[in-house]
Structure 1
Amino acid sequence: MALRAGLLAPMIAVAGPALAEADWYPLAVDATDRDGNTERVDYVPLSASETASRPWQLCVSVPHMKDAFFVAANYGMVEEAKLLGVNVQTMDAGGYTRLANQISQIENCVAGGADAVLMVAIAAEGVNNLLATLEQRGIPVIDIVNGVDSDKVAARVLTSPYAEGLRAGQYLAEKHPAGGEPAKIAWLPGPAGAGFVTAFDTGFKKGIEGSAVEIVETKHGDVGKEVQARLVEDILQTHDDVDYIVGTAVMAEAAVPLLKARGIADTVKLVSVYMLPGVYEYLKTGDVEAAGVAPITLTGRIMLDQAVRVLEGKQEHFNIGTLGAVYTKESVDEMNRDEVMAPRGYRPVFNLSQ
């Protein structure tokens, strides 16, 4: 499918070793049906034994490509699309303030002949009308990563921001249990109103419940490095006794040089709710104390696989949640980097035609 005018031009992936089929499945995931019943299952993609029955046209909408999280997801989707023999057009909406642009891009892509849409929603409720329209037109939507409030989706594949926030909170609660040494936390979960941020926040607060952890301030902002750096600076100017700054991986990457410049890297610790390449390196050096990890590249593969399953009438589960863990300097070497991040040197592929 050709890119429509006004959308981003395609970029070509720099050569990098793709995960071989047998390297990643079966993968343990949580599978939930539409009634909310969840079971742990071993996920096996269609590509294990077959290709798609036709070269389906898939549209993928993401809020932005400003951090390696979505680059990793793009890598996983593109690699799985190659195995299945389907076409993928990926659209960058331009940031979490560009909801109208995301909706417009999806509408244009569908008008251009898309068979299905995979959407990382900018706002959990802001796409409800779009989803209702697409359902009426018979265009299935796969709700990916962030989650939407509407039930008018064909499938969900989520990295469970709630679980990521919960794991980060539980990590701190274990270090600072009730009656133990208190810890003052600045909490920077991302842009206000985004579905994943609400989930981060709910999970994190649940994780620290009943502990000696106190959130002294919460600040919201776009997950760009400049914005997150400003928020960290505001926190440091307002609170001279904060023990931890906790939030997005972009925040953690932006905060490390700021803490070092102020000479407080040993007293103010950083915890990230998810992983990016910069956080991975900082984790190994101890500049970030802990980071949550979910298998983003593998999740990307499952996203793509679910879309094809829906189109081919081979869907087995409604909601797939991949599993994660928290890593520290002492345990990070146990992490499989290829399951979490794209290969070094990889550039996002916006248009894959086969």
Structure 2
Amino acid sequence: MKMLPKPLVLAAALLCGSAAHAADWFPLQVNSTGADGKSAPANYVALAKAAQPWDICVSFPHLKDSFWLAANYGITEEAKRLGVRAAVLDAGGFTQLANQISQIENCVAGGAKAVIIGAISQDGLNNLVAELKRKNIPVVDAYNGIASKEVDARSLTAPRDEGWRAGRYLAEKHPKGGKAVKVAWLPGPAGAGWVELFNSGFREAIKDSAVEIAETKYGDTGKEVQARLIEDILQAHKDIDYVAGTAVTAEAAVTVLRARGLTGKVKVVSVYMTPGVYQGLRNKSIEASNMAPVVLVGRIAVDQAVRLLEKKELLRDVGPIGRVYTDADIGTLKTDTVLAPTGFRPVFKVGS
């Protein structure tokens, strides 16, 4: 994998003098995966500006939660910074694969020159990607992952790494040989690819530690469902030390534990960050959370799309590096790398 050429780094440095805000998010350390499948750290440096106002289609599964709102914010802000036009599509939910495909086809028919896809399905978009390849429309796989090898670039979150980091936090706090601690583990809905990755990463990280999973419960990431599952586990196991799982799990756990008088006795760990988890860390009702820079993943995807259109060198498969924050150091988090601003509403069009 070729690294970004030195002139690009110089251009970014020169830009700082006239528009310092433009370089706030880069250079950014990422994991870059080469054609051989091997990953290595790299510094991502974005373009100063697009050569022309390209039309880019952006497809999201939905825009109903804070994760996809942050994705929307990152992508639309980067489109503004680079000076390109973006049409943002909301497929309506993870059951709406056919709608996602038809929306993208219509967007391309309307003149889009590149497509960024937050995929509903890993395999269900392969035929569409092949069709776009035949039309010479670059495709950037953003956030969720598409199985097709014909994708031109990828800017992804890494659910397995997120699960692993949350588990590693607990394993380091409770190493092998120490007093055993019991965890209620709620990774999300059964069968979802990202849930299985959360699960495998978390379980791998706690092997050979004093951390034991008392029970695993799968369920929809609605707060009522998660609260009910937590109640079930606490009823069945009187010796739970931690509730760990999705951000919705963590938010629901705070309420359940408060109602049961268990705040502080049973601690809460989240696999990813949301505004609710952030507030929980600030007020110390949540002990720790992994953080993936969702906003920056979107910014990279837009930069990749422009580089593909302008046939410029690029890192083709990247993922920003996350970390775990605790209630002790959450004040150091740059929230605009992870969360949309308070009160942000989805943006569906950038440029005229």
Report what 2:15 is aligned to: none
Q: Whole-Å Cα distance in 2 between the matches of residues 336 and 144 of structure 1? A: 22
TM value normalised by structure 2: 0.87
Structure 2 counterparts to residues 288-307 of structure 1, below 5 A: 288-307=286-305
Deviates most, 319-328 or 179-188: 179-188
Report what 2:186 is aligned to: 188
Report what 2:103 is aligned to: 105
Q: Whole-Å Cα distance in 1 between the matches of residues 20 and 190 of structure 2? A: 35
Higher relative contact order (CA 8 A, sep 6+): 1
**Structure 2: which 5+ residue stretches go unaligned?**
1-18
Write out per-residue CA displacement over residues 109-128 of structure 1, whole angstroms, 9 at most, x where no aligned residue: 23333222211222322323
Identity %: 57
SS of 1:20's partner is: helix
Report what 2:29 is aligned to: 28
Structure 2 counterparts to residues 233-244 of structure 1, below 5 A: 233-244=231-242
Report what 1:10 is aligned to: none
Report what 1:167 is aligned to: 165
Q: Whole-Å Cα distance in 2 between the matches of residues 212 and 335 of structure 1? A: 29
Q: Whole-Å Cα distance in 2 between the matches of residues 55 and 125 of structure 1? A: 31
Report what 2:265 is aligned to: 267
Structure 2 counterparts to residues 132-151 of structure 1, below 5 A: 132-151=130-149
Structure 2 counterparts to residues 293-332 of structure 1, below 5 A: 293-332=291-330
Report what 1:346 is aligned to: 344
2:73 is the counterpart of 1:75: yes
Contact 1:295–1:322 (CA<8 Å) still a contact in 2? yes
Write out per-residue CA displacement over residues 60-118 of structure 1, whole angstroms, 9 at most, x where no aligned residue: 22222222222122111111101212111222223333333333332332333322221
Q: Whole-Å Cα distance in 2 between the matches of residues 19 and 196 of structure 1? A: 36
Question: How many angstroms does 1:288 deviate by?
Answer: 0.7
SS of 1:304's partner is: helix
Report what 2:277 is aligned to: 279
Q: Whole-Å Cα distance in 2 between the matches of residues 338 and 54 of structure 1? A: 27
Q: Whole-Å Cα distance in 1 between the matches of residues 300 and 76 of structure 2? A: 11
Deviates most, 19-28 or 204-213: 19-28
Tell me how many residue pairs correspond in the alignment.
334
Deviates most, 129-138 or 38-47: 129-138
Report what 2:9 is aligned to: none
Report what 1:59 is aligned to: 57
1:54 to 1:191, Cα distance in 2 relative to 1, 3 A: farther
Alpha-carbon RMSD: 2.2
4+ residue runs over 6 A deviation:
none
Question: How many angstroms does 1:287 deviate by?
Answer: 0.7
Counterpart residue identity of residue 318, structure 2: I
Question: How many angstroms does 1:292 deviate by?
Answer: 0.7
Q: Whole-Å Cα distance in 1 between the matches of residues 218 and 121 of structure 2? A: 14
TM value normalised by structure 1: 0.87
**Structure 1: which 5+ residue stretches go unaligned?**
1-17
1:341 to 1:187, Cα distance in 2 relative to 1, 3 A: same
Q: Whole-Å Cα distance in 1 between the matches of residues 288 and 93 of structure 2? A: 27
